[in-house]
Chain A
Amino acid sequence: MKRERIVVAMSGGVDSSVAAALCVEAGYEVIGVSLRLARDGEGSCCSLDDFLDARAVADRLGFPHYVFDLRDLFERRVVQPFVDEYLAGRTPNPCARCNQHVKFDWLWQRTRELGATKLATGHYARIAPDPATGRPVLRAARDALKDQSYFLFTLTADVLAHTLFPIGEMVKDEVRAMAATLGLATAAKPESMEVCFVPRGDAGGFVAGHAPADRLRPGVVVDETGAVVGRHDGVHRFTVGQRRGLALGGGPRRYVRAIDARSGTVAVTDASGLHSRGLVARDVIWSAGSAPGTDVTLGVRIRHRHPLVAGRIVETTERTVAIAFDDDGPAVTPGQAAVVYRGDVVLGGGWIVGELAA
């Protein structure tokens, strides 16, 4: 009998290793694929060691493994926008962009060329049919600490229909235990938490190294009253809520409240100023179907691992959404994704433009 062929995206880490093992166990004909994304010598991902780890797992589980070179596409669709966003005073979310443009678009295209009908990854998220429509929707992972549904909000039912997240029902310890039981070389491999292509987590340094000097926006740091309290060498070094690296000397703790790239102004506040009443997002995708109504309370995630904030939609247009938090909410970070949940189901999301005006 001819088995159904599946491509498993393998980073060389333990999660995708176990995802592949589960696909083998489920009876699929597995093809392992690793993507070469970062430029040589940059960041923590895509090292030869990672590819060899993935290959060792493939060898152990008895399926073929290949590496595709995607550095050009990754540079164009992920790295360059990442740099541009920082230069514009926003804080980008490259993982969500990579999922949208690389893993679930380009790699899916490649998957079909390879005669496979499904694509699996080692993401912590779940796919389940919507009880109302029967169409697949994205749900948070069982392991709330590892949940990555935030980064996957762009995946629509069409995409989810051919996607598998085999470890979505597992907690991390179970994943590691299974890898160890199967004798996979990646079982105890440490986890990478930072942006994979940025060395040492130094986003500011990376941006400065990848942008022409005349695009950097140095300027002043101002407090709530507009008084200049410091200077900086570029807005790309800041994100909303940031405390470290402000170099304002002593005094009370201060946090970045807002960034204006045009004037190069970074506004700071004390902790009491770090709140907002809602947000506005653009390029919105209602991946579960259509925009929810304005009468329901929803959960909104404004950055990875941030607890859900209760709120409701006050206005939608074709591509934008305005959401009001039920209570006074956290300060939001332009450039990050705002992802809307009902319970643990992802309804959709967009990219934060700014806070909801009073």
Chain B
Amino acid sequence: MRIYLDHNASAPLRPEVRAAMIDALGATGNPSSAHREGAHARMLVERARAEVAALVGGEPAEVVFTSGATEANNLALRGALAASGHGGLVTTAIEHASVLETARELAAGGTPLVQIGTDAEGRIAAPDVVAACTADTTLVSVGLANGEVGSVAPLEAIAAALVGRGIVVHSDAAQAAGRIPIDAGRLGMGLLSLSAHKLGGPTGVGALWARRGCALHAQASGGPQERGRRAGTENVAGIVGFGVAARLARAELAATSARTAALRERLWTGLRAALPDIVLNGPAGEPRLPNPLNVTIPRCEGESLLVLLALEGVAASLGSACAAGGAEPSHVLQAMGRNEADARSGLRLSLGPTTTDAEIDRVVAVVPRLVAQIRRGAAA
């Protein structure tokens, strides 16, 4: 039996999505062509655009399809700063690498950059963000939910406090979309990054929602697609899959979220009962993402546990997924004040709509046994 608890790295492709994508792959035509085939492809793309817009409470015309949230984050940061005449950027220490590294590169190129830290549970305080904004600041980028530890940022408070200051608020919502309700308009966002494969869509497609009127310089040239904000023939099948995944996620959000949160609680309670010294990484209470549980188990090497779990058929991760190069210490856990050894050993179990009670019970039974084995081996 395989138990997949790594939905925050990538959620399994939903069968409905797969079926729609296979149909779309059978359709001929460039969405920009005027003939019937082209028109059909255009219709598929636009239908998906409406679904993705609806997921975040936006207008279809505000959605720019990209190759994923990483490209969306790049477009948001580089595109918005370029359009604003390169003002300052305020962001946080717990962002996804595509925000962190882009911010670092922009800073090296002269963009004034401020990075906000978190509390011990990985939470960002709105007043910290607001206080960091100066007269030069033109962009604030704060992830809506953190995929490693599940904290949710107070975007509404941040945006409300910045109204009228000429500052665009961007949020990487890749881990939040489909898991917590998002109303970009109410949140006061200017830009929002989305990913298809975190919510049951395919990898390789995402979107940047950009509020009407939000100035954005395209980062790729060579075509008028996506209203001039992202050149290149659209990934039609991928976009179709994203659309279906967005529709399903929106329709099922309340029920899935409640179920997943209950399963996560069952997992946490079970693990804590068997391993009294286990430490929770991330917020103990709301608001938080329903699905990830991040824990540190003292005297138990995270890498060893991950390997043994994999051998038992349980797919999990240490922090965020990265190249086949071994685990880096998690920058999120480090920002939360954990030392390097602990930041290397945070085990992330991220649940999804397909996770079952039986799977959670099995993990609750397996983990303590493997921990005991590791502790025995380390002591021998």
Chain B 309-329 interface mask (CB, 8 Å, partner A; 1/0): 011000000000001111110
**In the complex, chain A residues whose CB is within 8 Å of the CB of B378:** 109, 112-113
Q: Is the CB of A66 within 8 A of B323?
A: no
User: How many angstroms between the C-alpha atoms of A109 and B307 in the bound complex?
Assistant: 14
Q: Is the CB of A113 within 8 A of B325?
A: no
**In the complex, chain B residues whose CB is within 8 Å of the CB of A70:** 326
* Chain A CB within 10 Å, residue with most, of B326, B328, B378, B380: B326
The A interface, classified by DSSP as helix, strand, loop or mixed, is mixed
Q: How far is the CB of B224 from chain A (nearest CB, A)?
A: 37
Closest to B378 in A: A113
A67 interface residue (CB < 8 Å to B): yes
Q: Is the CB of A31 within 8 A of B323?
A: no
**In the complex, chain A residues whose CB is within 8 Å of the CB of B301:** 110, 113
Closest to A69 in B: B326
Q: How far is the CB of A2 from chain B (nearest CB, A)?
A: 12
A182 interface residue (CB < 8 Å to B): no
Closest to B373 in A: A115
Q: Is the CB of B325 within 8 A of A114?
A: no
A36 interface residue (CB < 8 Å to B): yes
The B interface, classified by DSSP as helix, strand, loop or mixed, is helix
Closest to A71 in B: B326
Q: Which residue from A67, A112, A114, A115 sits with its C-beta under 8 Å from B324?
A: A67
Q: Is the CB of A114 within 8 A of B377?
A: yes
Q: Is the CB of B377 within 8 A of A48?
A: no
**In the complex, chain A residues whose CB is within 8 Å of the CB of B328:** 69
Q: Is the CB of B308 within 8 A of A115?
A: yes
Q: How far is the CB of A50 from chain B (nearest CB, A)?
A: 10
Q: How far is the CB of B143 from chain A (nearest CB, A)?
A: 25
Q: How far is the CB of B319 from chain A (nearest CB, A)?
A: 12
B374 interface residue (CB < 8 Å to A): yes
* Those of B39-95 within 8 Å (CB) of chain A: none
Q: Which residue from A31, A69, A113 sits with its C-beta under 8 Å from B377?
A: A113
B303 interface residue (CB < 8 Å to A): yes
Q: How far is the CB of A23 from chain B (nearest CB, A)?
A: 16
Q: Is the CB of A64 within 8 A of B311?
A: yes
Q: How far is the CB of A115 from chain B (nearest CB, A)?
A: 6
User: How many angstroms between the C-alpha atoms of A55 and B323 in the bound complex?
Assistant: 12
* Chain A CB within 10 Å, residue with most, of B301, B311, B325: B325
A188 interface residue (CB < 8 Å to B): no
B32 interface residue (CB < 8 Å to A): no
Q: Which residue from B307, B344, B374, B377 sits with its C-beta under 8 Å from A66?
A: B307
Closest to B329 in A: A69
User: How many angstroms between the C-alpha atoms of A42 and B308 in the bound complex?
Assistant: 31
Q: How far is the CB of A211 from chain B (nearest CB, A)?
A: 24
Closest to B310 in A: A64
**In the complex, chain A residues whose CB is within 8 Å of the CB of B308:** 114-115
B304 interface residue (CB < 8 Å to A): yes
* Those of A97-135 within 8 Å (CB) of chain B: 109-110, 112-115
**In the complex, chain A residues whose CB is within 8 Å of the CB of B303:** 66, 68-69, 110
User: How many angstroms between the C-alpha atoms of A70 and B301 in the bound complex?
Assistant: 13
Q: Is the CB of B326 within 8 A of A113?
A: no
Q: Is the CB of B325 within 8 A of A51?
A: yes
Q: Which residue from B310, B324, B327, B344 sits with its C-beta under 8 Å from A48?
A: B324
Closest to B326 in A: A69
**In the complex, chain B residues whose CB is within 8 Å of the CB of A51:** 324-325
Closest to B300 in A: A113
User: How many angstroms between the C-alpha atoms of A202 and B147 in the bound complex?
Assistant: 43
Closest to B374 in A: A113
**In the complex, chain B residues whose CB is within 8 Å of the CB of A66:** 303, 306-307, 310
Q: How far is the CB of A95 from chain B (nearest CB, A)?
A: 21
**In the complex, chain B residues whose CB is within 8 Å of the CB of A64:** 307, 310-311
* Those of A293-317 within 8 Å (CB) of chain B: none
Q: Is the CB of B326 within 8 A of A36?
A: yes
A247 interface residue (CB < 8 Å to B): no
Chain A 62-104 interface mask (CB, 8 Å, partner B; 1/0): 0010111110000000000000000000000000000000000
A-B contact pairs, 6 of them (CB 8 A): A51-B324, A69-B327, A110-B304, A112-B378, A113-B373, A115-B308
Q: B-contacting residues of A (Cβ < 8 Å)?
A: 31, 36, 48, 51-52, 55, 64, 66-70, 109-110, 112-115
Closest 10 CB pairs of A and B: A69-B326, A112-B377, A113-B377, A67-B326, A113-B304, A113-B374, A36-B326, A51-B324, A66-B307, A68-B326
Knowing that A64-B311, A113-B304, A113-B373 are A-B contacts, what are 18 other residue pairs whose CB atoms are under 8 Å apart, sorted by A's residue number?
A: A31-B311, A48-B323, A48-B324, A52-B324, A55-B324, A66-B303, A67-B326, A69-B303, A69-B325, A69-B326, A69-B327, A69-B328, A70-B326, A109-B377, A110-B303, A112-B380, A114-B304, A115-B377
